[in-house]
Amino acid sequence: MIKFFITLYLTLFITFIAVIVTVETLSDKIVDHFDNGDIEDKIFQGMFNLLDQSVEGINQQKIRQKVAQHQQHFPILFDLIESHQIKLTPKERQRLNQGKAVSIVNEVEDFLYRKLPNSNLVWRSPTDFSLNMNFFTVEITAGKFINGMFYLVEDTLSTVPINARLEKLQALQKLHIYPLRIEKLANLDISNEDRIALKQNEVKNITQGQQQIVFARQLKTSSDILILESGEIPWLIYNIPYILLFILALFIAIASFIWVYPLWRDLSQLKTAAEHFGAGQYDTRVPHSKYARIAQISQAFNLMAKQTQHSIDAQKELTSAVSHELRTPVARMRFSLEMMIDCDNKKNQERYINDINTDIDELDLLLSELLTYARFDQHSHQIKFQAQNLQHWFDHSLERLQPLAKNKQLKAQITHISEDEIVHFEPRLMSRAMDNLVQNALRYADSMVLVSLTKTTTHYQLTVEDDGDGIEEKERKKLFDAFTRIDDSRNRSSGGFGLGLAIVKRIVQGHQGDISIHHSDLGGALFKIQWAL
């Protein structure tokens, strides 16, 4: 769960950083666009053209006088200066010499420059051009520059009759580039607030979402409205809200995909594995990385699949083995019954009855062993440990086995175990494990069986060894499987069903221990049980 949320928060953090970097890059491009002066040049080229026309063909002294006259009507202070007085970069100097506007905005100055044609003089004017952007609107204002432009246009129109204004506006457009037109106030689709402002001779930006920057002002000589359509708003600026929304949505989509896809892929693999497992392909496993979001779920599924497959395989093996083990005593019982029916001799009938009872006892023992093995084969079987005196338990368990030795020697050996050694284990089950091993050793020993209990630095160790023929190394591993016996012992005289060692293994595993088969110094087999201190 922690890994799941860490991945989510990390993805969101990276997305947040990516959005910030992208927006900053976009802002830098917009700033670079403004720094180049392209916007100012397009918007205010007409004003400078009108100023150029107003001083065209007059000497420098009269130019100064004309400038002073304009300054009386202009709402901003501007003047003409020598070109060499301006500190410009080579790129800005090149723009100025090409007749383009250059905007210099820094901590020292905030001016707009435009060179007077065929002269070393340069128009200089304080700039109050601004671009106001928020997430949903873009507002462009030019303030006093537009006021100055309207003054120059009105000053030109005042010299011609009203009926000639349209023709004069067309002539001015050749200087101004942008359309100029005269409209009735009633025909304008603007707010009441803007109407009041226009009646008060204010300049208003009435762009209203259009891609052309549109300014309006009422003529001083009439109630008509002079419309000035300035430069086109750059596509990047005009669509900045939608671009930002798109960038945000894009990064959220990418982040969601990066975060969700591995989860979807892992869940799809889990779903496919579950379908295959349900269809009977019990060897199906979920491929996964330990760093996967659902690694624990995949591991749990694989563990469940492994345990289920083991249980199914064990069940098949057990069913097959039980069928084999039941077939022989049942066949003997059927034979004895048939012989008893046809037999008139009472002594023979009693012998057949005894044989049947022997077979029934064998079946009863087999069922008892099967139930014991089945309990240990269930993973839910819990062993309840008890504190026991280890030496006392060992002596008592071995004493019970002495009558089984008959004509063979059953010896015991204890090393490194104190008389008051207390150990936690299940005494009844460990006694059962020792019983099975000792009985198995007595069955194959020639004359002696040695049972040893010792303590190492890390383990307790119980060994049972005999002086019989021993067990070949290739046979040792499979002896712990259910119903498995050495080929030479697969007969009634040797006894057993091949479940004893399988039960011993389950008991030892329940004690978190290990059992193994080795060659004994006595010449036969040595069974070693180890469990942790």
Using pLDDT thresholds of 50, 70 and 90, give the confidence band for residue 347.
confident
pLDDT for position 337: 86
Q: Among 113-127, 237-251, 292-306, 307-321, which is the least confidently predicted range? A: 237-251
**Right CATH for 295-381 from 1.10.1660, 1.10.3470, 2.60.120, 1.10.287:** 1.10.287
pLDDT tens per residue across span 270-327: 999 999 988 988 889 988 777 777 788 888 889 898 888 887 887 777 777 677 677 7
Task: Using the predicted structure, report yes or no on whether residue 492 has a pLDDT greater than 60.
Answer: no
Q: Comparing 263 with 505, which gets the higher pLDDT?
A: 505
Q: Among 131-135, 250-254, 271-275, which is the least confidently predicted range? A: 131-135
pLDDT for position 489: 43
pLDDT for position 346: 81
Residue closest to 464 by CA, chosen among 401, 506, 420, 391: 401
Give the angle 147-101-47 at the CA atoms, nearest 5°. Answer: 30
pLDDT tens per residue across span 141-161: 455 667 777 877 887 777 778
pLDDT tens per residue across span 388-417: 999 999 999 999 899 889 899 999 999 999
Topology annotation, domain 386-532: Heat Shock Protein 90 (3.30.565)
pLDDT for position 59: 82
CB neighbours of residue 467 within 10 Å: 21
Same topology, domains 295-381 and 386-532? Answer is: no
The rounded distance, in Å, linking the Cα atoms of 529 and 511 is 10
Which tokens hold the place of 506?
Answer: 């389950």
- pLDDT above 90 covers a percentage of the chain that reads 18
pLDDT tens per residue across span 351-380: 888 888 888 887 887 787 777 777 776 654
Contact status, residue 467 vs residue 445, Cβ threshold 8 Å: yes
| Burial of 74 from C-beta contacts in 10 A (0-12 / 13-18 / 19+) | buried
Task: Using the predicted structure, report yes or no on whether residue 213 has a pLDDT greater than 80.
Answer: no
Question: Can you tell me the mean pLDDT for 10-24?
Answer: 71
Question: Can you tell me the mean pLDDT for 100-114?
Answer: 78
pLDDT for position 422: 94
CB neighbours of residue 278 within 10 Å: 10
Highest-confidence segment of 13-17, 357-361, 481-485: 357-361
Task: Using the predicted structure, report yes or no on whether residue 64 has a pLDDT greater than 70.
Answer: yes
Question: Can you tell me the mean pLDDT for 469-489?
Answer: 77
Residue closest to 469 by CA, chosen among 398, 417, 520, 420: 520
The rounded distance, in Å, linking the Cα atoms of 152 and 158 is 10
- pLDDT above 70 covers a percentage of the chain that reads 80
Using pLDDT thresholds of 50, 70 and 90, give the confidence band for residue 528.
very high
pLDDT for position 8: 65
Question: Can you tell me the mean pLDDT for 62-70?
Answer: 83
Contact status, residue 37 vs residue 240, Cβ threshold 8 Å: no
Q: Comparing 483 with 414, which gets the higher pLDDT?
A: 414
Question: Can you tell me the mean pLDDT for 210-222?
Answer: 78
Contact status, residue 74 vs residue 154, Cβ threshold 8 Å: no
Give the angle 523-463-500 at the CA atoms, nearest 5°. Answer: 95
Distant-in-sequence, close-in-space partners of 406: CB < 8 Å, separation ≥ 6: none
Using pLDDT thresholds of 50, 70 and 90, give the confidence band for residue 170.
confident
Using pLDDT thresholds of 50, 70 and 90, give the confidence band for residue 454.
very high
pLDDT for position 343: 81
pLDDT for position 177: 57
Torsion of CA 368, 373, 379, 385, to 10 degrees: 80
Residue closest to 465 by CA, chosen among 409, 425, 407: 409
Return the CA Rg of the chain: 52
Using pLDDT thresholds of 50, 70 and 90, give the confidence band for residue 30.
low
Q: What average pLDDT is seen over the chain?
A: 80
Q: Where are the domains of the chain?
A: 36-238, 295-381, 386-532
Question: Can you tell me the mean pLDDT for 45-65?
Answer: 80
